[in-house]
Structure 1
Amino acid sequence: MSSVGDSISPKERVLSARRIEGLIAAGQSIIIVNQKVLRVDAWIPYHPGGHKPIQHLIGKDATDEFTVCHSEETQNQIDRYQIGRIEGRWRNFIPPIQGGQFRPYIEESETSNEGHDFPAPKRIDDQKDGRLDQIRPAVRELNTKEEQAFLDSETKKEISLTLTRYPPLDETTQGEIIEKYRRLYDQIKAEGLYECNYMAYAREFGRCALIFSAMLFFLHIGWYCTSAVFLGFFWSQLVFSAHDAGHIAITHNFTIDSLIGMTIAAPIGGLSLGWWKRTHNVHHIVTNAPEHDPDNQHLPFFAVNHQFMGNIISTYHERLLPYDKVAQFLVPYQAYLYYPVLALGRFNLYVQSWIFLGQGQGPRKGLAWWHRWFEIAGNIIFWLWFGYGIVYKSIPTAWSRFAFVMISHMVTMPLHAQFTLSHFAMSTVDLGPDESFAQRMLRTTMDIDCPEWLDFFHGGLQFQAIHHLYPRIPRHNLRRTQKLVLEFCKDVGIPYALYGFVGGNKKVVGSLAEVSRQASILAKCQQTIAERGDLLHGR
């Protein structure tokens, strides 16, 4: 005769935190979504957004991240990976990729460690995924005790200042923020803010067609520099729609939005939407984290935080980000280099796109298996019409060709500034796994204030804080959503960073200048150490 417990479905069995820790220690990818324990190893090869975002959620309650980043179709399919459920509020582990340590599960220890009455694994520097283990020892040798002491003191100052400005990290406070954030999500859906305004996109299409026609007209009459300005503006305007499509925010259908985004990115823009999604999805999960967010890792040109002067390891690139001689020379001048480097940013996007496509870094299974080949074909088409048809065949002299290429690419600089503006000057500290998703997004992201008639220029990117809270909301509804988020912030006591475009630029440049000042102090520290070493050796 079977017992009552034997009749319980495997998906409905209650798994303790100790048991889940043991599963992760055994190498399984476990996340928690809506009290359900999901083993997502089988999903990772099919995940269109890459494996890194999932790795950063292992051992965590990923309900909010999963809900706001995925379509309802995907949300409805996730039950196939359920292996159990939890009771009560989940206390997040630190994921293995971030240094979390997990103990193997021993059956006899179940009773003494039931539930959550044990300390969460602490972060240890030695534990990293894959080849990161091999380069960690070398990192320690790069920093002297004095250098590390200086960097640690700056980190402590930043953490202390951050903790005074944002709500405490206790379970009650963060639990209340999570509950109200999820209620806000329901309210936003109820008010129809996830419904796309297709007439707004029709106007966008008309504007882009007009800009492209102007480019062709001035090209025809030989005004090549003027034509280049219109081409750069055309690319910038289209990127906004590609960004929406990449977040499945237009039709909310993965295949349709992917086609829209890839068509804009590849044959029209010469870039890879797949590459952008691979980095951008990680950015949305670990926003502004120096070791983990690829959108902040710009050495040797920029160190957006003092931590980059400590020779950190990028978990995204799986390699050391050295604060080498080149970085030591450039970072003290980064506030002056900010706009010139951004003006050349589009050339870097070409390189990154072809590396991604050439190495096949995107998904090779599932719904997105064909995306790589679509984008390769699209990029070939781009270089045929732009590189051969316009630059080579339509422009007569080498100097005019050079000017056309440089101007058309440098005109997109405000777009690159817009992407960096919302994060470079915001908090980069890690407050631990107990911080709610909503608070972390608002702490690491600022919004740019502008009149409504200028929304077309910013393309929705001025609402980055709102976008990070709810990435799939169509951008034409972000201004309406902002009012609801403002009420939420006042209710839970989270500061909402809002600056004018000029003020936001000043804050970013000022932040870069502050890191440059810290770099100068570190350089003096290194010089003192070197001189002391010379004295000790009698030189």
Structure 2
Amino acid sequence: MADNKEKYITSDELKKHNKSDDLWISIQGKVYNVTDWAKVHPGGDIPLLNLAGQDVTDAFIAFHPGSAWKHLDRFFTGYYLEDFQVSEVSKDYRRLAAEFAKSGMFEKKGHGVIYSLCFVSVLLFACFYGVLFSDSFSIHMLSGALLGFSWMQVAYMGHDSGHYQIMMTRGCNKLAQILTGNCLTGISIAWWKWTHNAHHVACNSLDHDPDLQHLPFLAVSASLFQSLTSVFYGRKLTFDSFARFFVSYQHLTFYPVMCVARVNLYVQTFLLLFSKRKVPDRALNILGILVFWTWFPLLVSCLPNWNERVLFVLVSFCVTSIQHVQFCLNHFAANVYIGAPKGNDWFEKQTSGTIDIACSAWMDWFFGGLQFQLEHHLFPRLPRCHLRKISPLVQELCKKHNLPYRSLSFFEANIWTLKTLRTAALEARDLSSPVSKNLLWEAVNTHG
């Protein structure tokens, strides 16, 4: 052990090991070779690749339980980081995380899952009853709205199960993910994990965060007009005349686009599950998707005519669009940057790239805990029932280190988002700014 302590490398030397076939990271100043582990990492290889060649202590603490530390030794290279330092912000963040762990907050999940399951069951029962046993047009449309509300609540449950175990065992938790994601909403949990983990690690990076890559229809920053290459998707986000047209009016088309955003999620699910990319539990995910595309069309077909069927689907999508809008409010109007995330400014990047939605405690069910977006990003494994409790502590830490803590009402957040989109739209209309050659196919097929 004494010999190991004498072996050091610098941060600059560590940075050289930042490729998929040579991937090193540092945690608490100890250097680990995770090249092979990245291929089977439960969180996917993207988070590791984005932080490769860096000290990732804060990110490791955020995403892993205390039991994960004992597994690190098998990856230890024998090297220590010679110039390892911990900022005051990180010290306070780690202290806070340790306090939460010591009090058992990560394990105390409350009864939210039971309440959510009961609520979703009631909504789905009412929806099916209205479609199957009523001839009223109004009841049919109300049933579509109830289906939309149920999808919102199911999505929150899927989100919770993806970040921490809401069931007793890992196997039951995986089953809950497939049921809530694939079977009930038609959106693959494998796709969600792939994109969502990347989003958390590279929060609001224009070229690394897939949640900001919505060309040709939306652009939150004029920097996207440079036709950046998406590191996540491995393709260029082409800003051509086709994209310029849509982006120029995005502040007007934002809500209509959100009403049909669910279609994009279905497309993304199929693109991933039937791609050549390695997908964990691919067969199980496909089976879950087949379940959804069996019961949903059958339910719609029970409506008396095509007019009601189309309107039923549109109503359900429009209600669910409230949730899609919420996801945008949390990040679209926050600060953005270009480049890979850094492991040594974890707390700072999360405060910079997130916006909370202020609401009364009785509305927490409606927002699913994601109104405390910053708290969730800082402590993604923390059950949503604790997010309101820790909010004052996070605010205090932000104030201490002179970091932004933005909490807006739902209305104010919408105004901020629309202003951000309008600013980018007006810049897109500048015809003196050149665009790439208009390749319609490429623009349409840009993921995001």
Tell me whether 476-485 or 252-261 shows the greater mean CA deviation: 252-261
Tell me, in whole angstroms, the C-alpha distance in 1 between the residues paired with 2:128 and 2:3. 65
Q: Which residue of 1 aligns with 2:33?
A: 39
Tell me, in whole angstroms, the C-alpha distance in 1 between the residues paired with 2:141 and 2:284. 32
Tell me, in whole angstroms, the C-alpha distance in 2 between the residues paired with 1:66 and 1:197. 21
Q: Which residue of 1 aligns with 2:176?
A: 260
Tell me, in whole angstroms, the C-alpha distance in 1 between the residues paired with 2:343 and 2:101. 27
Tell me, in whole angstroms, the C-alpha distance in 2 between the residues paired with 1:501 and 1:255. 37
Q: Which residue of 1 aligns with 2:42?
A: 48
Secondary structure of 1:499 counterpart: strand
Q: CA deviation at 1:49?
A: 2.4
- 1:416 aligned residue (314, 324, 329): 324
Q: Which residue of 2 aligns with 1:467?
A: 376
- One-letter code of the match for 1:479? R
Give matches, 1:229-308, under 5 Å: 229-251=145-167, 254-308=170-224
1:84 maps to 2:78: yes
1:396 maps to 2:304: yes
Task: String of CA shifts for 1:34-93, please: whole Å, max 9, x gaps.
Answer: 2211111111110132221111111111111112112334333122111123245437xx
Give the conservation status (yes or no) of the 8 Å contact 2:357–2:408: yes
- One-letter code of the match for 1:239? A
Give matches, 1:310-321, under 5 Å: 310-321=226-237
Greater Rg over alpha carbons, structure: 1
- One-letter code of the match for 2:305? T
Secondary structure of 2:232 counterpart: coil
Give the conservation status (yes or no) of the 8 Å contact 1:299–1:321: yes
Q: CA deviation at 1:318?
A: 0.7
- One-letter code of the match for 1:265? G
Tell me, in whole angstroms, the C-alpha distance in 2 between the residues paired with 1:26 and 1:275. 21
Give the conservation status (yes or no) of the 8 Å contact 1:449–1:462: yes
1:375 maps to 2:291: no
Tell me, in whole angstroms, the C-alpha distance in 2 between the residues paired with 1:72 and 1:190. 10
Tell me, in whole angstroms, the C-alpha distance in 1 between the residues paired with 2:433 and 2:267. 37
Q: Which residue of 1 aligns with 2:443?
A: none
| Sequence identity percentage | 32
Q: Which residue of 2 aligns with 1:214?
A: 126
Give the conservation status (yes or no) of the 8 Å contact 1:184–1:488: no
- One-letter code of the match for 2:389? R
- One-letter code of the match for 1:277? K
1:330 maps to 2:246: yes
Give the conservation status (yes or no) of the 8 Å contact 2:330–2:355: yes
Give matches, 1:437-476, under 5 Å: 437-476=346-385
Task: String of CA shifts for 1:151-199, please: whole Å, max 9, x gaps.
Answer: xxxxxxxxxxxxxxxxxxxxxxx71111111111112223332123342
1:518 maps to 2:427: yes
Give the conservation status (yes or no) of the 8 Å contact 1:248–1:254: no
Q: CA deviation at 1:485?
A: 0.7
Give the conservation status (yes or no) of the 8 Å contact 2:203–2:350: yes
Q: CA deviation at 1:396?
A: 2.5
Give the conservation status (yes or no) of the 8 Å contact 1:269–1:382: yes
Tell me, in whole angstroms, the C-alpha distance in 2 between the residues paired with 1:225 and 1:24. 53
Q: CA deviation at 1:210?
A: 1.3
Q: CA deviation at 1:505?
A: 0.7
Tell me, in whole angstroms, the C-alpha distance in 2 between the residues paired with 1:343 and 1:65. 34
Aligned residue-pair number: 430
Give the conservation status (yes or no) of the 8 Å contact 1:11–1:83: no
Unaligned runs of 5+ in 1: 1-6, 92-173, 364-368, 528-539
Structure 1 runs of 4+ off > 4 angstroms?
7-12, 21-27, 251-254, 430-435
Tell me, in whole angstroms, the C-alpha distance in 1 between the residues paired with 2:227 and 2:116. 44
Give the conservation status (yes or no) of the 8 Å contact 1:248–1:258: no
Q: Which residue of 2 aligns with 1:28?
A: 22
- TM-score (structure 2 length as normaliser): 0.90
Q: Which residue of 1 aligns with 2:439?
A: none
Give the conservation status (yes or no) of the 8 Å contact 1:10–1:83: no
Tell me, in whole angstroms, the C-alpha distance in 2 between the residues paired with 1:516 and 1:26. 37
- How much is the aligned-residue C-alpha RMSD, in angstroms? 2.3
Tell me, in whole angstroms, the C-alpha distance in 2 between the residues paired with 1:11 and 1:244. 40
Task: String of CA shifts for 1:455-508, please: whole Å, max 9, x gaps.
Answer: 111111101111110100011111111121112112222120110110011000
Tell me, in whole angstroms, the C-alpha distance in 2 between the residues paired with 1:57 and 1:198. 33
- 2:296 aligned residue (383, 386, 403): 386
1:397–1:25 Cα change, 3 Å: closer
Q: Which residue of 1 aligns with 2:337?
A: 429
Tell me, in whole angstroms, the C-alpha distance in 1 between the residues paired with 2:270 and 2:322. 23
